[in-house]
Structure 1
């Protein structure tokens, strides 16, 4: 029996759904005026947004009209953090192409995802366009069209898989890893060794914090500047003796497993030092570092573990940069976004530094 490509149940928005959706700031007064004029309704230029919304809600809206509202409310792709994994072994171009083609065929057959595969030099990229549904939002704001890119870069020791730290990207990357491992095993009989940034095997607070301390101070080509935000986590090391006499601060710390500190010089603050001595460790950090190149910018970085209790799902991002002002001989105080080229360049520095920081922790303390 052939597969029936049936869509979801038809959703008919109520007047309140439409009214709430049109109240959103993304729906401008100009859009509402244009809509009414297309329906043959002329409105005064001074008409308020509220009056326009009430008029539209009184009309009978078609399927195309509901789609128009949905498109106005779609969220643009936000900048997701980046994560990566290494697959070490003898990987050939044909293995990568074969794995990508297989995953592309599976995604295209199983759903409405649009998948594009491109190759440039030693990099192969899968670009997936999909619809994400967030049912925590109001009805007409639940649909978001998103795009994620998974890049496979071939090197002398294997491949590096770079991807956004989203659920969709992780699911597809697991399919790619499985397909790639199968391709290599089929041809050579060897198994690829997977490597990712994780401190799960080192459940010691001091080690986990030192990983971040080494990372922020050793990004290649940068001079450490300042830490502006730190999130810490407390992993219970065992049951406390209920008869043990404790001070008020110790009892309070035993009830808290997460804390966030923000401000200049967080690592030197008294509050951070108190938490650190009680078994809290860093799992997320935001810091700035200055590019050592001539009149280089000051760049703001962020790194964290998505699962703070196990210190897994490591991710990182470039939050922005502060350009150097040659007139004042200082960096600007206003942060600006980074270009795609700068984002890739700085993310590569973070990737390399995180691997070196993990190696330092393993060499010093053992896994």
Structure 2
């Protein structure tokens, strides 16, 4: 039976409550502090400062029901994590894989820190893991632990096990455990094929990878690019991009080079020869390359629809830790233009769209790592989308 032991904090002292309120002044307003005190039978004055209100409320005794109410006030939804994928070179069958996953889940949830739910179809298995993590030691004590979920989707194909999961350390740890268990079961070494350009130091080829990726989404044509970020080749291959998005309402800080490359790519979409563009030549000469992009594709057949993708290398210098996100979709208006409103991708469509961007990334990778002709083709301008903004 699946078990998950939640870590309990038996007593929240006045400092815990005060720190929690101070850290969430934008979420828990003065008015809510007054209502919180009133619910405890205490009437405070609205002329008191936030610090004074927080100081008094923190002096009250908080049992679990009262603490739960406070948690409800500060609750914020975790940002959706980006997704990554890889292929394990193993010919193991789905029934064998199922036995291995059941063994791993039983072993890892013995201490109660993880809970597993495994669902299976003829050629695929999904593993949902609920776990507790310590996100940031700098947070207040009451926020040290939070419950999170991840899903590892494993599909058996002719070339091995295709694995898709959230791009975080916990998921990577579990995938590593799966790989090790398969090796023990079969007696054969298991390689993990990832989407990466670690052996390529050419800024032009790294940029070409993203341009090819944008063009290679099967069944869709490239319509627009909304954001491009660049990095400069350096000497430290271990620098990792911060995976956290900027706080709500704050835009990502864009450099002059980001803006230049975005303009270059927009011109490229319209048919301009990239290699003859001065800005592109200058950026390449200075060893800048695309490491992150957000672009829009338009469905070629069937009901009109636009899909917004995002992709990046989590480690730009080494061009490793490839990850992506399905940002949303836009529908057409009656006048032929596209709606400005971006709606979330339906759960039923996420699997297919994830597969499409993974396929596109592998095609782009083959183009960049094969012949000079293929690399030149990656830089060629796409067919004009002809869609309206």
Same-fold status (TM-score > 0.5)? yes
Shift of 1:276: 2.2
**Contact in 2 for aligned 1:18/1:57 (Cα 8 Å):** no
- Higher share of residues assigned strand: 1
Partner-residue secondary structure (3-state), 2:329: strand
Shift of 1:229: 1.5
Partner-residue secondary structure (3-state), 1:261: helix
Give the structure 1 partner of residue 212 of structure 2. 214
How far apart in 2 are the matches of 1:49 and 1:123? 57
Shift of 1:54: 6.3
**Contact in 2 for aligned 1:70/1:141 (Cα 8 Å):** no
**Contact in 2 for aligned 1:324/1:331 (Cα 8 Å):** yes
Q: How large is the RMSD of aligned CA atoms in angstroms? A: 3.5
Partner-residue secondary structure (3-state), 1:208: helix
- CA change 1:291–1:6 in 2 (3 A) is closer
Shift of 1:11: 6.1
The one of the two structures with greater contact order (alpha-carbon pairs below 8 A, sep at least 6) is: 2
Give the structure 1 partner of residue 92 of structure 2. 91
Specify which of 345, 354, 357 is matched with residue 352 of structure 2: 345
How far apart in 2 are the matches of 1:261 and 1:332? 25
The runs of 5 or more residues in structure 1 that have no matched partner are: 238-256
**Contact in 2 for aligned 1:217/1:224 (Cα 8 Å):** yes
How far apart in 1 are the matches of 2:36 and 2:149? 29
Give the structure 2 partner of residue 106 of structure 1. 107
Between Structure 1 and Structure 2, how many residues are aligned?
337
The runs of 5 or more residues in structure 2 that have no matched partner are: 1-5, 236-254, 268-276, 375-389
Partner-residue secondary structure (3-state), 2:86: strand
Shift of 1:321: 1.5
**Contact in 1 for aligned 2:198/2:320 (Cα 8 Å):** yes
Q: CA-to-partner distance for each residue in 1:245-299, whole Å, 9 max, x for gaps?
A: xxxxxxxxxxxx9953389644248655522232211111111111113342221
Give the structure 1 partner of residue 310 of structure 2. 302
Shift of 1:67: 4.4
Give the structure 2 partner of residue 153 of structure 1. 155
Give the structure 2 partner of residue 251 of structure 1. none
The answer to whether structure 1 residue 235 and structure 2 residue 237 are counterparts is: no
Q: CA-to-partner distance for each residue in 1:300-331, whole Å, 9 max, x for gaps?
A: 11111111111111111111121112x11111
TM-score (norm 1): 0.79
Shift of 1:136: 3.3
TM-score (norm 2): 0.75
Shift of 1:53: 5.3
Give the structure 2 partner of residue 363 of structure 1. 370
- CA change 1:223–1:147 in 2 (3 A) is same
Give the structure 2 partner of residue 171 of structure 1. 173
